[in-house]
């Protein structure tokens, strides 16, 4: 923790924290989505569930290719706005899952989810490349991966417990809450960048 606070740049800290929450929420939904469709959606099948998932990933690829070049021209604040917008779209898709029992609507929500990932991902990677300490890049990426994997394992167990104790609706609402929490580190960093730095007063001339 001391290394994290003293040696990792503020943006990379925001990225590591946010990505852990982003992938945790995705894992809450991804693992159980097929089960949800076959158990709770009228006419839902394993095939229709996997097609809905695939449509979301196709949408992500298409938007990734079209937005990647455009986002490279944005300022750091502009890239941060894209990242937060993308994460908001992902949260909206999870909220939609909680409200819908129609496979076609669920497929459309996966498109929103994929577009949300694509909106923010290129901008996020560009900022990581700018801010990461290249002399310690392997250590920082290792820290990111370890935290992500730990929370993914926890989310797998937690997702099954939430469905068993409550419902799929509760699972999707919980995923939306976790994903929305991932916007907070970027919002704090964004506010820090926008806050004007106060100049230090000039020293008094010696008489």
pLDDT at 126 over 50: yes
Interacting residues of 129 by C-beta distance below 8 A, sequence separation 6+: none
* Backbone torsion region of residue 129, taken as left when φ is above 0, otherwise alpha when ψ lies between -120 and 50, otherwise beta: alpha
Instruction: Report whether pLDDT(159) > 70.
Output: yes
Q: Are the beta carbons of 175 and 28 closer than 8 angstroms?
A: yes
**Band of residue 203 on the pLDDT scale cut at 50, 70, 90:** low
For residue range 190-201, what is the model confidence (pLDDT) as tens digits?
A: 999 887 665 455
List pLDDT tens digits, range 31-89.
899 999 999 999 889 999 999 999 999 999 999 888 777 777 888 999 999 999 999 99
Q: For domain 16-194, which CATH number applies: 3.30.56.10, 1.10.8.640, 3.40.50.2300, 1.20.1250.20?
A: 1.20.1250.20
> Looking at residue 165, what is its pLDDT?
94
Q: What percent of the chain has pLDDT over 90?
A: 51
Is this structure's pTM higher than 0.75?
A: yes
* CA–centroid distance for 37 within its chain: 23
């Amino acid at each position: 923790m001391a290394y994290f606070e003293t040696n990792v740049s503020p943006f990379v800290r925001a990225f590591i924290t946010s990505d852990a929450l982003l992938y945790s929420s995705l894992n809450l939904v991804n693992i159980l989505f097929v089960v949800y469709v076959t158990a709770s959606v009228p006419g839902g099948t394993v095939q229709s569930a996997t097609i809905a998932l695939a449509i979301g990933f196709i949408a992500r690829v298409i938007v990734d290719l079209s937005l990647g070049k455009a986002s490279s021209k944005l300022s750091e604040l502009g890239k941060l706005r894209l990242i937060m917008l993308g994460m908001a779209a992902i949260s909206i898709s999870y909220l939609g899952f909680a409200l819908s029992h129609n496979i076609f609507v669920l497929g459309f929500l996966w498109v929103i989810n994929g577009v949300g990932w694509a909106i923010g991902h290129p901008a996020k990677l560009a900022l990581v490349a700018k801010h990461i300490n290249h002399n310690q890049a392997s250590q920082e990426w290792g820290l990111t991966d370890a935290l992500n994997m730990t929370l993914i394992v926890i989310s797998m167990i937690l997702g099954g417990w939430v469905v068993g104790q409550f419902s799929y609706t509760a699972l999707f609402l919980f995923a939306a809450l976790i994903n929305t929490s991932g916007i907070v580190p970027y919002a704090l960093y964004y506010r820090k960048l926008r806050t004007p730095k106060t100049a230090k007063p000039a020293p008094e001339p010696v008489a």
